[in-house]
Amino acid sequence: MIKIENLTKHYGDVKAVKSISFDLEDTQIVGFLGANGAGKSTTLKMMTGYLTPTNGNVYVDNKNIIDHSIEIQKMIGYLPELNPLYGEMKVHDYLKFHADVRGITGYDFNKSLEKVVSECGLQGVVHKTVSNCSKGYKQRIGLAAAMIHDPKVLILDEPVTGLDPNQIVEIRELIKRLGKQKLVLMSSHILQEIQATVDRIIIIHNGEIVADGTSDELINDSKGLSELEIELLDADESKIKDMKAKVPSINVKSIMTTDSKSKKVTLEHNSNSDPRKDVFEYVVKNKWTLIQMNSSKRNLEDIFRKLTKQGVKADA
Amino acid sequence: MHNINAIYKKELRSFFTSPMAYIFLVVFALVNGYFFTNTFFLYNQSDMRALFGIVPMVYLFFIPAVSMGLISREKGIGTIEIISTLPIKERDIVIGKYLAGFTLILISLFTTIIHYFTLIKFGTTIDHGAVFTGYLGLALVAGVYTSIGVFASSLTENQVIAFIVGIAIVLVFFLMDKLLYFVPASMAGIIQYMSTEFHLSNISRGVIDTRNLIYFGSIIGFFLFMTTRVLESRKWS
């Protein structure tokens, strides 16, 4: 569907995007993750024809953005960062304007309007003025305008920034529904947001792609340390510390005594090993009571931090 | 074509959903009405020359004010990114916006028709042809000034700057005719040809010459072309 080839953008001496390449398939939700200033928006702006690449190209359905920007813009729906809208317009008129440009008129417009209004939950505000709507509604108006022509590709730049938690959940659900029928590419600098919504994550840092895959793939690839947390009754501390002798794959990181006289122990182990069985057997042998065991896999946040830090080092 | 129409309708709607268009129309009608009636009964002449003399002066400020927001406002609030990523050519955006501004100015010019009826009521031996060409001249000058206003609006995201730049460029075209005494004779012909007043006075006298029409057409075309280039330049920023 979309093919990005050696895409590069320089603003004067600043290299915002450095020769990135990736492919996107038909129906999936792809998250574009990176810190502020990593080059996310610049990449999206090149994909939508707002900026011309310094080098490289974007292909949508085998058409390239430099020679066929109008054709590509017809296939794409785009919600820019900060969601600019014409505040003085009525919501209905704003959507009508987008439909007019897309060549959707008359009966087709009524049908499309009905569809996006119900999909985006705009029933209550269709005849209101845009500037009088709440931020959550404005975001949905922007989305509705971007999808009025039922595009194959939706590009959303930071779609949930500035929304309250309830609104975030609503927009997230909406994006998930859309991802079943379309290719949705959304950017965010908020990791939890991306993790909760997308099928595939592309992490960009300093204008380069530093990771690309599903959330699980990224975690498994990273070969870091995982944590195992257990809570024990009637256990004594010195014996807990000896655990390493019997279960060599672990390290005792911390031991904490709780109010209810149980001990919370945090163990560290290599992500590709699973010491749970050995730990359990050690506990049984010592006749302690195991009341809780939590295996916390390395989370994406650590990986994100590690990747984006590495990037800085490699760059320096 | 339907894109020009979509932009045109959007701009015209936004003029008339805010109080702006109404304020413009009322102010324009009042200012011109005042200057026209002030001397109309005094001179006791059956023509509208007083009006055709004052409207170009009012245009100097009025047209840059109408057109200042056409593009700069989109840049200011960021919606330029929306219309630039919709499947519309920059050229169509510029033409649509230009026509919307031009329409508002023609509507305001239309409010002065009332003075024509005053003339018919009180005047004798009225030269209707001169009135017609006078209006045609004013419409053509309005077309030129609007294209300058749209161009000024594309240069900045600040409406006040767009307004001032617009007035400055319009003033150059307006004053060229008055500068003829100060330029060498070899240049005078060109400078005179560049001035809007020169062509306006020709048409107002009742002579519709293709040279004048070509002048107006090419100045409008030049500024709209430049505006399109300015809009396209964002891609290579």
**pLDDT of res. A314:** 42
Q: Cβ of B77 and A87 within 8 Å? A: yes
Q: Are A182 and A154 in contact (CB under 8 A)?
A: yes
Q: What is the pTM for the complete model shown?
A: 0.85
**pLDDT of res. A312:** 47
Q: Are residue A157 and residue A271 in the same domain, yes or no?
A: no
Q: Which of A70, A65, A82, A62 is nearest to A9 (CA)?
A: A65
Average pLDDT for residues A90-117, to the nearest whole number? 94
For residues A234 and A41, the model is more confident at A41
Residues of chain B contacting A85 with CB distance shorter than 8 Å: 79, 82
Q: Are residue A81 and residue A22 in the same domain, yes or no?
A: yes
Q: Cβ of B87 and A98 within 8 Å? A: no
Q: Which of A205, A220, A235 is the last residue of a domain?
A: A220
- Domain positions in chain B are 2-236
Q: Work out how many domains chain A is built from and give that number.
A: 2
Q: Are residue A26 and residue A128 in the same domain, yes or no?
A: yes
**pLDDT of res. A53:** 93
Whether A260 shows a pLDDT value over 80: the answer reads no
Rounded distance, CA A11 to CA A106, Å? 43
How many CB atoms sit inside 10 A of residue A14's CB?
10
**pLDDT of res. A301:** 76
Q: Are residue A194 and residue A178 in the same domain, yes or no?
A: yes
For chain A, say whether B88 makes contact (Cβ under 8 Å). Answer: yes
Q: Name B174's Cβ contacts closer than 8 Å, sequence gap at least 6.
A: B56, B60, B195, B196, B197
CATH number of the domain bearing residue A186: 3.40.50.300
Please report whether residue A238 resides in a domain.
yes
Write out pLDDT tens, residues A293-315.
888 766 677 777 777 775 444 44
Q: Are residue A47 and residue A82 in the same domain, yes or no?
A: yes
Whether B82 shows a pLDDT value over 90: the answer reads yes
Tell me which of A102-106, A201-205, B21-25, B202-206 is least confident: B202-206
Write out pLDDT tens, residues A141-194.
999 999 999 999 999 999 888 788 888 888 888 899 888 989 999 998 888 888
Write out pLDDT tens, residues B84-119.
999 999 999 999 999 999 999 999 999 999 888 888
Give percent above pLDDT 90 in chain B: 59
Which domain covers residue A247, as residue numbers? 224-297
Q: Which of A188, A220, A252 is the last residue of a domain?
A: A220
**pLDDT of res. B189:** 85
For residues B90 and A25, the model is more confident at B90
Please report whether residue A126 resides in a domain.
yes
Q: Are residue A192 and residue A250 in the same domain, yes or no?
A: no
Please report whether residue A304 resides in a domain.
no
Question: Residues 141-200, chain B: which have Cβ within 8 Å of A?
Answer: none
Query: A234-272: string of b/e by CB count within 10 Å (b at 16+)?
Result: ebeeeebeebeeebeebebeeeeeeeeebbebbbebebe
Write out pLDDT tens, residues B46-64.
778 888 888 999 999 999 9
Please report whether residue A314 resides in a domain.
no
CA distances from A315 to A13, A18, A212, A263, B110 (A): 16, 12, 19, 45, 65
Give percent above pLDDT 70 in chain B: 100
DSSP tag of B195: -
Please report whether residue A305 resides in a domain.
no
Q: Cβ of A84 and B82 within 8 Å? A: yes
Write out pLDDT tens, residues B139-158.
999 999 999 999 999 999 99
Average pLDDT for residues A261-273, to the nearest whole number? 82
Q: Cβ of B79 and A74 within 8 Å? A: no
Q: Are residue A255 and residue A208 in the same domain, yes or no?
A: no
| Tokens matching residue B187 | 């240049």
| Tokens matching residue B179 | 């500068």
Residue of B7, B14, B87 with shortest CB distance to A73: B87
Whether A222 shows a pLDDT value over 70: the answer reads no
- Kindly report the average pLDDT of chain A as a whole number: 87
**pLDDT of res. A316:** 34
Q: Which of B155, B170, B149, B167 is nearest to B72 (CA)?
A: B155
Whether B181 shows a pLDDT value over 90: the answer reads no
CATH number of the domain bearing residue A266: 3.30.70.260
**pLDDT of res. B129:** 87
Query: A160-187: string of b/e by CB count within 10 Å (b at 16+)?
Result: bbebeeebbebbbebbeebbeebbbbbb
Q: Could you tell me the pLDDT band of residue B126, with boundaries at 50, 70 and 90? A: confident
Whether B1 shows a pLDDT value over 80: the answer reads no
CA distances from A105 to A111, A112, A113, A140 (A): 10, 9, 10, 22
Q: Are B2 and B89 in contact (CB under 8 A)?
A: no
Interface test with chain B among A14, A41, A45, A50, by most B beta carbons within 10 Å: A50
**pLDDT of res. A44:** 94
CA B197 to chain A, closest CA, distance in angstroms equals 38
Write out pLDDT tens, residues A163-175.
888 888 888 888 9
- Kindly report the average pLDDT of chain B as a whole number: 91
**pLDDT of res. A160:** 86
Q: Are residue A80 and residue A207 in the same domain, yes or no?
A: yes
Q: Are residue A153 and residue A249 in the same domain, yes or no?
A: no
For chain A, say whether B229 makes contact (Cβ under 8 Å). Answer: no
Q: Which of A168, A197, A220 is the last residue of a domain?
A: A220
Q: Name B36's Cβ contacts closer than 8 Å, sequence gap at least 6.
A: B48, B50, B51, B54, B112, B115
Q: Are residue A95 and residue A195 in the same domain, yes or no?
A: yes
Residues of chain B contacting A11 with CB distance shorter than 8 Å: 237
Q: Are residue A49 and residue A78 in the same domain, yes or no?
A: yes
Rounded distance, CA B168 to CA B163, Å? 9
Q: Are residue A28 and residue A120 in the same domain, yes or no?
A: yes
Q: Cβ of A73 and B3 within 8 Å? A: no
Rounded distance, CA B122 to CA B117, Å? 9
